Amino acid sequence: MKTLIIDPKISGISGDMFISALIDLTDDIDLLCELTSTINNLKNCKKFEVNIKEEKINGIVVKKLYMNIIEDRFHRPEDLKDAVKEVSNNLNLSKRAKNIICNIIDDLISAEKKLHKTDFHLHEVASLDTVFDVVGSVMLLEKNGFLNGKIYSTPPVLGGGYVSMEHGILSVPAPATLEILCKHGIKYSNPPYATKFEHTTPTGIAVLSNVVDEIVDNFPPMTPIKVGYGGGSKILKEVPNILRVIEGKINKNIEKNMVVLETNVDDVSGEIIGNLFEKLLNEGAKEVFVVNGIGKKNRPTNIISVITNYAKSEKLAKMLMEETGTLGVRIKEIDRIKAERIEKTHFININGKEFKFNVKISCIDDKIINMKPEYEDAKKIAEELKIPLRKVLKMLDNEITCIAK
């Protein structure tokens, strides 16, 4: 199983450090070029340039991002949400990736809202670089198959001293960072060095909280494959201001510490169950499914099953009870064998026009067991050409077969 470890206990995490580290790990610069181009099409963007440079920090070679932004900053939360939604849709991200992106943005906005209550406007997250950091992080994780594997993180270092903000000079961590830590129950670590610097930013912790499956003090057992390093903007004497990410592989594709939550409901409407589906998946459930059956007193019943990791099981069990009114939830601990899944982009010429489509590739022990085109991409091609979807899917399947050969 594909595994990623994020290691912010060296010098914390920010959005640009995370993207830099992922680029160093994957060398997937083309994706960032596509993201940058999409952001430049936003109405409030006058200029958005990103340069990726290789530099040395305390003798360690890292990737660093440099941005040149001319913009009309966001003031209302709705404006930021609309921009993120527009960019995500134009990049053909999956529904799951879009949900994660929305959750990250909601965390950032909710933190501001809790601090200011009513009539508030956006502060530190009001720039286009927030759109870049959030969408770029999730996009790189999805396109390289990490969202379908297991993502760990060590406890982030928050920093110390004071930070200058629109609110004035405040102690580290910033208020928004602290709110997000509280919401997700993320534990942090204290550095073994003196620091007067904000090591973990609100955007960094919001991304971390929504993509990580488990916070661990030590690296889990796995076979490491590759390491990527991202550099922060400030040079520190005491410690290298870097974030490292490690790609690894857990043998035999066995995913441990998984939980099945299950409950029977015979007095809940289809609308409530449909809404529950969305909420559970948005909160990190791996799978949700419903089976019809016969329950007590020979009544028709719905058996709702949720597969999740152990860390999120209590939260999702409470959600099941709150949303359906059920009096109990059964919990079963399981392991599961899971194929590695990655996405690759390909092109096809149909009726003299070139179309881009993503291919989902499933592997076990580096052996490909299945390749299929992304349904949403096929649907868009069919709609544009006004031809049946089944014909498009057949053409894409044929193209994939040729590629595989």
Q: What is the pLDDT of residue 404?
A: 62
- HSE-CB for 333 with a 13 A CA cutoff: 5
Give the SS3 label for residue 269. coil
Contact call for residues 20 and 60 (beta carbons, < 8 A): no
Contacts of 160 (CB under 8 A, 6+ apart): 172, 194, 195, 196, 197
Q: What is the pLDDT of residue 405?
A: 59
Query: What are the pLDDT digits (tens) for 375-389?
Result: 888 999 999 899 999
Q: What is the pTM of this model?
A: 0.70
Contact call for residues 104 and 304 (beta carbons, < 8 A): no
d(CA 207, CA 134): 7
Strands of 250-374 (E only): list them. 254-265, 287-294, 300-309, 330-337, 340-350, 353-364, 367-373
Residues of the chain with pLDDT under 50: none
What's the token pair of residue 57? 């920090």
Query: What are the pLDDT digits (tens) for 205-218?
Result: 999 999 999 999 98
Burial of 370 (C-beta count, 10 Å sphere; 0-12/13-18/19+): exposed
- HSE-CB for 38 with a 13 A CA cutoff: 23
Return the CA Rg of the chain.
22
